[in-house]
Structure 1
Amino acid sequence: MSRRLKLAVQNATAATALPTRAQLKAWAEAALQPGVKQAELTLRLVDAPEGQTLNREYRGKDYATNVLTFTFDDLPDIPGLPLMGDLVLCAPVVEQEAQEQDKPVLAHYCHLVVHGVLHLQGYDHQQEDEAQAMEALEAQIVTALGYDDPYRSDKES
């Protein structure tokens, strides 16, 4: 694996069904697109109160959500500057969603890390065409990492 990703992991949760640092790094690195030469990311695993506070303060939504992505959009456009940002994963929400969606918790963590890292690179899902492109890329990356297509239930219905 290349050394193009510097990853800091912060564990601020009481949850025990967590991916390892090596898994988190592999998933994040797999989501980096070819044009990204270097990336510096912080991935923070939190409990519901912190997840809810962050979602309320930064998105105006008063509930804990699965993943929050914080980009450093205010950095100058300097050639060679690495991709930088933070991902916050709310462990209880991830675990609950995995159970509700009948998928392994690690598969759901993988999908959400990939999803968040793609957001850091400018991918979005606000418009239908953007959502389709982002979901297709997520599915490609997640399945290449050995997990089922995270949108499989959407495609079966």
Structure 2
Amino acid sequence: MTLSLTYECRPDSNFPLSKREVMFMAELLLKSLNIEGFDFDLKITDDSAIAEINQDFLGCVGPTNVLSFPFSETPDLATNKYLGEIVLSVDTLARETRLYAQAPEEHMIRLLAHALLHLAGYDHGPEMYALTDTAVESVAPIFRQRMVGWQ
């Protein structure tokens, strides 16, 4: 797996994860979703930047939590190892963690799983939601255990 990870905002308490932790989370998610070994780009940004991307590319007004830009509309996972790009807003992540009473890392696991499934060709629906839930249930405990080891 090659993950190109870019922070396009100042690190702050809204996003308490290091690059090493994000890389580990991505590896766990790819394995859990059976797309291990695939490459993608992840940009961590703020509401202002994601709102601009949302408007420019999707015609939607305002910020959102995560956007996925698949490399192909019909991914051929057998021949192409690059999935596409994910953009995640730390501001929306922070708001939603308070709203849903979740730890930031658990909500990020959910958002990244959802976004990775979009990159792999899934659309919203029962199958995608079930795969997302399964990924969160399997990855979150492993990630929490590792985080304790890093402290």
- Structure 1 gap segments, 5+ residues each: 126-130, 148-157
Alpha-carbon deviation of 1:93? 0.5
Mapped pair 1:10 → 2:6:
yes
Q: 1:6-155 to 2 correspondence within 5 Å?
A: 6-16=2-12, 17-32=15-30, 33-34=33-34, 36=35, 38-73=37-72, 80-125=79-124, 131-146=125-140
Deviating 4+ runs (over 6 angstroms)? none
Counterpart of 1:49, as a letter, is S
Quick one: distance in 2 between partners of 1:42 and 1:65? 18
Describe the SS at the equivalent of 1:70: strand
User: What is the TM-score normalised by the length of structure 2?
Assistant: 0.80
Instruction: Give the direction of change, closer, same or farther, for the CA distance of 1:6–1:99 in structure 2 (3 Å limit).
Output: same
Looking at structure 2, the residues matched to 74 and 115 of structure 1 have their Cα atoms a distance apart, in angstroms, of 16
Q: Which has the higher helix share?
A: 2
Q: Determine which structure has greater relative contact order: mean sequence separation of CA pairs < 8 Å that are 6+ residues apart, divided by chain length.
A: 2
Paired residues of 2:68 and 2:119 also in contact (CA < 8 A): yes
Give 1:152's aligned residue.
Answer: none
Question: Please, what TM-score do these two structures have when normalized by structure 1?
Answer: 0.77
Q: Report the Cα offset of residue 44 of structure 1.
A: 0.4
Question: What is the distance in 1 between the residues matched to 2:94 and 2:75?
Answer: 37
* Inter-partner Cα distance in structure 2 for 1:26 and 1:108: 15
- Give 3-state SS (helix, strand or coil) of 2:102's partner: coil
Distance 1:143 1:133 in 2: 15
Percent pairwise identity = 25
How far the C-alpha of 1:78 sits from its partner, in A, is: 9.1
Aligned Cα RMSD in Å? 2.2
Change (3 A) 1:15 1:30: same
Deviates more, 1:10-19 or 1:111-120: 10-19
> CA, structure 1 residues 37+146, in 2 after alignment: closer, same or farther (shift >3 Å)?
closer
